[in-house]
Amino acid sequence: MKIHAKTTQNSKKINPPPLGESYARQWSTWFQNLGVMAAKINQTLPNQFMNASQELLKLSQNHGYQSVLQLSYQAAININFDPISFSLSSARTPRQLVLRWTSCLELQSHNRLIASGKKFSHPKYRAWYNYFIEQISSEEIVIRPFLSPLANMSCFGPAVLGGVACALFDLQAVEIWVHPPNSPSYKLNLQSTLVFNPLLARNFTPDSEILIKGTPLIHLREKNLAAMQDLTHLISDRELLSRITSLPKSQDGGHLPMPFAARHIGISTRSLSRRLTNLNTGYATLIRHIRFRDTCIALTFDEHTIDDIAWYQGYSDRHHLSREFKLLGGFTPSKYRDVLHSNT
């Protein structure tokens, strides 16, 4: 079934998140889960849990910012699909990772300032997206989480982003070094059990640099394809999600209408609608995100034109695809394709 532009008119009446609906929903869910993990360490009772930010602030106050970095590294295994995470996780080489991340940040630099709600300027790194991650050599990559406007929305934000960044690398083949601005550098062991070292915790500050050192070369962590495409932040019922995502395409491209989908799954339309409602979503919303994810994946291949992708994914035309892509991804499909091919 082709989904025409008129079906998304309601979504255009509401200002979408600056970085796209897909990014906002995935990271909102992940951050909430990170807060729950922090609450367990803080020994916060379930009825006393306020929000993720308070728990992470409490964790940083009790155990230092390094504890937030360590916890974020551990939680990064549960990052689901959004276009930026997919572009980084699917990078084949450290150089491609650096180029893709830099391209994403430059492309979204204005929107990230809007999302952070404040004007951001660093006296040393004015074009901050060019310095956030740099490959110094084949053996060294430096990451400066404090340059991210979104990370700077909180005192613990750079530590959260630093932990997520470290999770992109194979820690069996690299060493992680922390460079605080006013303290000696030290090696960080993120693969050990979460044990808080009070001495090192005091040394790690929000404006610390993180150095990835290869032994001898830098290697990225091997990614599971299914994990990179996971949409369980939208619907927690994995079995139902799997059955919906594996539905056959309709004859004119796109996804089946809900009555036909329910028939393929083996339940009534009403039952399918009720199950999705109980999971705080709807069939149209879920299909919209599945279509967007599949479009992002299709853009990794050069042989598919935007028109071909639009037809096969069930959009009315390339212009409809572009409008939806901006709403969900925060940029156009052609710009996203440029990011995915930032490998030279």
Domain ranges of the chain: 5-17+225-340, 24-214
Backbone dihedral angles phi then psi of residue 177, each to the nearest 5 degrees: -120, 140
Which secondary structure element, helix H or strand E, spans residue 141, and what is its range? strand 140-143
Burial 227-259 (b: 16+ CB within 10 A, else e): ebbbbebbbeeeebbebbeeeeeeeebbbbebe
Does 101 have pLDDT greater than 50? yes
How would you classify residue 64: left for phi > 0, otherwise alpha for psi between -120 and 50, otherwise beta?
left
pLDDT at 162: 97
Q: What's the whole-number mean pLDDT along residues 178-205?
A: 76
The highest-level CATH class for domain 5-17+225-340 is: mainly alpha
Please answer whether residues 250 and 314 qualify as being in contact, where contact means their C-beta atoms are separated by less than 8 angstroms: yes
The pLDDT, as a whole number, for residue 289 is: 96
- Band (10; pLDDT cuts 50, 70, 90): very low
pLDDT band at 9 (very low <50, low <70, confident <90, very high): very low
Contact assessment for residue 342 and residue 103, using Cβ atoms and an 8 Å cutoff = yes
Residue 177 pairs in a beta bridge with: 187, 211
Question: pLDDT-derived band of residue 129, with 50, 70 and 90 as boundaries?
Answer: very high
**For residue 98, what are the β-bridge partners?**
none
d(CA 25, CA 234): 8
260: which residues sit within 8 A by CB, 6+ positions away? Answer: 250
Q: What is the pLDDT of residues 305-334, one digit of tens each?
A: 999 999 989 898 999 999 999 999 999 999
| Range from 55-69, 187-201, 325-339 carrying the lowest mean pLDDT | 187-201
What is the structure's pLDDT at 5?
A: 45
The confidence band for 118, taking pLDDT boundaries of 50, 70 and 90, is low
When pLDDT is averaged across residues 269-276 and rounded to a whole number, the result is 96
pLDDT of the residue at 253 = 64
Give yes or no for residue 295 having a pLDDT over 90: yes
Question: What percentage of the chain has pLDDT greater than the value 90?
Answer: 68
Q: Could you give the CA distance from residue 165 to residue 157 in angstroms, rounded to a whole number? A: 12
Q: State the average pLDDT for the chain.
A: 88
Beta bridge partners of 214: 174
